[in-house]
Amino acid sequence: MAIKARKLILGFLCLLLFLVPSSSLLDKLVQGQEVKDKEVLFSAQGKFKLGFFNITSNNYYLGIRYNNSEEYIVWIANLDTPIFHNSGSLTIDDIGNLKISDNSGLSIVLYSGQEGSNNTSAVLLDNGNFVLRELSPEGVVKRELWQSFDHPTDTLLPGMKLGVDHKTGQTWSLRSGRSYFIPDVRSFTFGLDPNHTNQLVILFHGELYWTSGSWYKGYFNSSSGLKDSYCNFSYISNENETYFNYSLEKGIATSPMSPMLMIDYLGRLWNDTDVLVDCASAPSSLTDGCVTQKLPECRSPSDTFSQNSSFWDESNGFKFNESDNLIMQDCKAKCMNNCSCVAYAVTNEDDLNWL
Ligand SMILES: *[C@@H]1O[C@H](CO)[C@@H](O)[C@H](O)[C@H]1NC(C)=O
Ligand SMILES: *[C@@H]1O[C@H](CO)[C@@H](O)[C@H](O)[C@H]1NC(C)=O
Ligand SMILES: *[C@@H]1O[C@H](CO)[C@@H](O)[C@H](O)[C@H]1NC(C)=O
Ligand SMILES: *[C@@H]1O[C@H](CO)[C@@H](O)[C@H](O)[C@H]1NC(C)=O
Ligand SMILES: *[C@@H]1O[C@H](CO)[C@@H](O)[C@H](O)[C@H]1NC(C)=O
Ligand SMILES: *[C@@H]1O[C@H](CO)[C@@H](O)[C@H](O)[C@H]1NC(C)=O
Ligand SMILES: *[C@@H]1O[C@H](CO)[C@@H](O)[C@H](O)[C@H]1NC(C)=O
Ligand SMILES: *[C@@H]1O[C@H](CO)[C@@H](O)[C@H](O)[C@H]1NC(C)=O
Ligand SMILES: *[C@@H]1O[C@H](CO)[C@@H](O)[C@H](O)[C@H]1NC(C)=O
Ligand SMILES: *[C@@H]1O[C@H](CO)[C@@H](O)[C@H](O)[C@H]1NC(C)=O
Ligand SMILES: *[C@@H]1O[C@H](CO)[C@@H](O)[C@H](O)[C@H]1NC(C)=O
Ligand SMILES: *[C@@H]1O[C@H](CO)[C@@H](O)[C@H](O)[C@H]1NC(C)=O
């Protein structure tokens, strides 16, 4: 019996979030102010909000969500460093640092202020971008210092880029999390081919896992799942940068949410409603573009594992170091690559529940 790609039971990114009353209706954070506890910034038209929220009971994150649909988390600032208890605060301090701090002395600097940038303000825009700007004494925007769109997590919104800035070397790509409940950075990335061909790729620990096919006359020239997703991609390449961005096709632009692309912890790519790319499901993948993983001779790509809840005899097994932080997909890959391996399991409950 193959492990079937699990149909999503509760919709994707099904986080059970705690509704908190909002006590602020501003879209701007100015120097010296803070956002903390249940306070939120709203974008001008109220589409997005930024604030601290918890995914599990005590781990709080600073993130951006849709106001009318809190389960979609489009950005998280402190992916790898949740804040214990709700004591987080976001501020722009005297010298212009945009930073998260908490009452235990934690300090996560999102942007380091520079000498002279003493009039900055951060605004949450209606496209979901949180932008730090330097203002002139007249209040005119002098320049943009930092933006959340330059630091994507697992979700792509229109206006964001997937690609590389040739001058700074900065890349824009999505990173998968560990599970539905733990967003810390894990095994999969989705972005421009690092070999600089004009295609999008998913990498698994840096290895090619899926390709979109080449960009050719306005389309990806394979039937790779992105074609029918109603995402209208553009490819831009010049001496400064190379990237894909996308917009929503006309006609369905009336949706209250922006169209999204999201990569989950199994390396699957989603739009708002559907799985577009799924190379994890066996035996033969549902998606064109999946790259056959290198395997030892004892294995075939069509080999599958069956789900079984029998007793795990540790004396016949091998337990990886917990600090390796492996997720289910990593365990599977390790087992596939070891001819004497007949089964794998994870020890983390969160991973188990979301096979
Ligand atoms: C946010 O959503 C709530 C609940 O749907 C609604 O009452 C409120 O007016 C919205 N806020 C903004 C600023 O749109
Ligand atoms: C978030 O924290 C509150 C207060 O501790 C708790 O009641 C709620 O269950 C938590 N939410 C989740 C999703 O765990
Ligand atoms: C900062 O900008 C505000 C307008 O947004 C202006 O009133 C103020 O004078 C400026 N302060 C400095 C030090 O430039
Ligand atoms: C993509 O980038 C190009 C060039 O910067 C821009 O003209 C276009 O509006 C962008 N498209 C979207 C959907 O953001
Ligand atoms: C990049 O190119 C090298 C050499 O052709 C190839 O082995 C590798 O798989 C490519 N990587 C990706 C991510 O396309
Ligand atoms: C896909 O694009 C490549 C160029 O990048 C081209 O050589 C090839 O013919 C195209 N294939 C199809 C089916 O259009
Ligand atoms: C998501 O993709 C599916 C299939 O590719 C498509 O039918 C659906 O309309 C898309 N949803 C949105 C909101 O674009
Ligand atoms: C590249 O950057 C330079 C300096 O910022 C700018 O003058 C030039 O117009 C840019 N080129 C393109 C194609 O955007
Ligand atoms: C796709 O985007 C381009 C430029 O962003 C636009 O000219 C074109 O009309 C869009 N196509 C559709 C089908 O919406
Ligand atoms: C689970 O493993 C046991 C022992 O190998 C076997 O008897 C049983 O049929 C398996 N169950 C399933 C659902 O594969
Ligand atoms: C596990 O990894 C840590 C950190 O790399 C190392 O200090 C420790 O010795 C390792 N434990 C084992 C059993 O290999
Ligand atoms: C396969 O796993 C066993 C432990 O179960 C280990 O001793 C062996 O070195 C592994 N082989 C490879 C090729 O990794």
For residue range 301-311, list pLDDT tens digits in order.
Answer: 778 788 777 77
Ligand 2: which atom is nearest the Cα of residue 54?
A: 1
Nearest CA to ligand 4 atom 1: 245
Is 40 or 186 the better-scoring residue by pLDDT? Answer: 40
Banded pLDDT at 321 (limits 50, 70, 90): confident
Question: What is the pLDDT, as a whole number, of residue 251?
Answer: 44
Q: Whose CA is nearest to atom 2 of ligand 11?
A: 323
pLDDT tens across 162-186, in order? Answer: 999 999 999 999 999 988 778 888 7
Return the closest-CA partner of residue 15 out of 67, 62, 54.
54
User: Going by CA atoms, what residue is nearest to atom 14 of ligand 4?
Assistant: 159
DSSP state, residue 290: B
Distance 142 CA to ligand 4 centre (A): 22
User: What tokens does 185 get?
Assistant: 């950075």
Please tell me the distance between residue 276's alpha carbon and the centre of ligand 9 in angstroms. 20
User: Do the domains 20-151 and 152-292 sit in the same CATH topology, yes or no?
Assistant: yes
Q: pLDDT, tens digit, for every residue of 211-265?
A: 998 998 888 877 667 766 667 889 999 999 999 998 765 544 455 666 789 999 8
* CA 79, 53, 113, 242 torsion-angle sign: positive
pTM greater than 0.85 (yes/no): no
Instruction: Provide the pLDDT for residue 152.
Output: 96
Please tell me the residue having the least CA distance from ligand 2 atom 5. Answer: 57
Q: Does residue 209 contact residue 267 with C-beta atoms inside 8 Å?
A: yes
Query: What's the gap in Å between 326 CA and the centre of ligand 11?
Result: 14
Ligand 1 contact, 68 CB (< 6 A): yes
- Say how far apart CA 27 and CA 31 lie, in whole Å: 14
> 3-class SS at 192?
strand
- Please, which pLDDT band fits residue 283 given cuts at 50, 70 and 90? very low
pLDDT band at 280 (very low <50, low <70, confident <90, very high): confident
Asked whether 321 lines ligand 8 (CB < 6 A), one says no
Nearest CA to ligand 5 atom 10: 195
Kindly report the protein residue whose alpha carbon is nearest to atom 4 of ligand 2.
57
* Residue 306 vs residue 134, higher pLDDT: 134
pLDDT band at 6 (very low <50, low <70, confident <90, very high): very low
CA distances (Å), 253 to each of 225, 231, 243, 320, in order?
A: 20, 11, 23, 47
**With a 6 A CB cut-off, is 219 part of the ligand 6 pocket?**
no
| Cα–Cα dist 153/263, whole Å | 9
Residue 336 has pLDDT above 60, yes or no: yes
At 314 the pLDDT is 74
Reply yes or no on whether the pLDDT at 2 is more than 50.
Answer: no
Asked if 86 and 60 touch (Cβ cutoff 8 Å), the reply is yes
Q: Please tell me what DSSP assigns to residue 326.
A: -
Mutate to test the pocket of ligand 1, among 68, 72, 124, 257 (most ligand atoms within 8 A of CB): 68
Looking at residue 258, its pLDDT comes to 67
Name the CATH code of domain 20-151 (choices 3.30.70.100, 2.60.200.20, 2.40.30.30, 2.90.10.10): 2.90.10.10
Whether 319 lines ligand 11, by a CB cut-off of 6 Å, is no
- Classify domain 152-292 by CATH number: 2.90.10
pLDDT tens column, 56-82: 888 899 999 999 888 889 999 999 999
Are 123 and 130 in contact by the 8 Å Cβ rule? The answer is yes
pLDDT value of position 48:
93
177 within 8 A of 185, measured Cβ to Cβ: yes
Q: Is 255 in the pocket of ligand 10 (CB under 6 A)?
A: no
The alpha carbon of 77 is separated from its chain's Cα centroid by a whole number of angstroms, namely: 11
Ligand 6 center–CA 235 separation, angstroms: 15
Domain boundaries, the chain: 20-151, 152-292, 294-355
Q: How many CB atoms lie within 10 A of CB 28?
A: 12
Say if ligand 6 is within 6 A of residue 222 CB: no
- CA 65–ligand 1 middle distance (angstroms): 12
pLDDT at 228: 63
CA of 252 to the centre of ligand 9 (A): 13
What is the distance in A from the centroid of ligand 11 to the CA of 108? 27
- Identify the nearest ligand to the CA of 339 by its number: 12
DSSP string, 118-162: --EEEEE-TTS-EEEEEE-TTS-EEEEEEEGGGS--SEE-TT--E
Lowest mean pLDDT among 38-42, 43-47, 79-83, 349-353: 349-353
